[in-house]
Amino acid sequence: IIFVDLDGTLINKGNRTVLETTKEAINQAKMNGHLVVLSTGRPPVLFYGSDKQLGIDSFIACNGRFVVVEGKVIYQEPIPTDTITELVEYCEIVKIDLSFQNQNEYILQSNHDNLYKKFSDNFNVDYPILKPDYYKEMDVYQMGLYYDKDDFDKFNQQFSTLSFHFSCAYGLDVNAKGGMKELGLKKVLDYLNYKKEDTIAVGDGYNDIGMIKLAGIGVAMGNAPADVKQHANIIARDVRDDAIYYLIKTLKII
């Protein structure tokens, strides 16, 4: 099984189009009997057809909290409403904007600042729709906290049941405690009765570290930060340099 990140791995950040060489490599890998699983911090609503471009129907979304294998939902873990309420109340006091994400929607709780626009522009996704208190009626698998300071670790100390991870200069991914993408990887392995030794995980971000460390072969992209690369068995090319095609050929998958 090949678990592969989206932003900075399958697509260059800010793009919505997959390289033709990447499509070719993924298609050949599938034809050779390998299962390819998209593993991303994005919710499915923000895939914008990347999965369809690649012919992938298995994915780990929302940093491991919504998992689909061959079109079937095998795992979903919404954040408890009372936990969200605690963060919402704090964010309202300090005037920090927060978003909610599930398989179908990307929703904004408040509109105090424009950081959510900068965050969305960074990943070339549509701006979230303003719907205060959306979480009280609908499941939320991940939140976005729009914060551009260096002291974001304070949130992990203040909210013991949530984890806050750097996503980009304009915001943090907020998930329930318990790991990141490696959580979804484990769910896929359990469902298909695979061993971790039979897996490859490829990524470039801090939310990829767990799955890179867990997989039989962990791969960091050439464009990944040094803190990510140090956990990998292999360093691939830069995402802009046909990285996935050359990686899959080097590993003799095709």
pLDDT in tens, 202-246: 999 999 999 999 999 999 999 999 999 999 999 999 999 999 999
Looking at residue 236, what is its pLDDT? 97
- What lies within 8 Å, CB to CB, of 139 at 6+ separation is 76, 78, 102
pLDDT tens-digit readout, 103-125 = 999 999 999 999 999 999 999 99
What is the torsional sign of CA 207, 46, 85, 187?
negative
The whole-model pTM stands at 0.93
Averaged over 166-187, what is the pLDDT?
A: 95
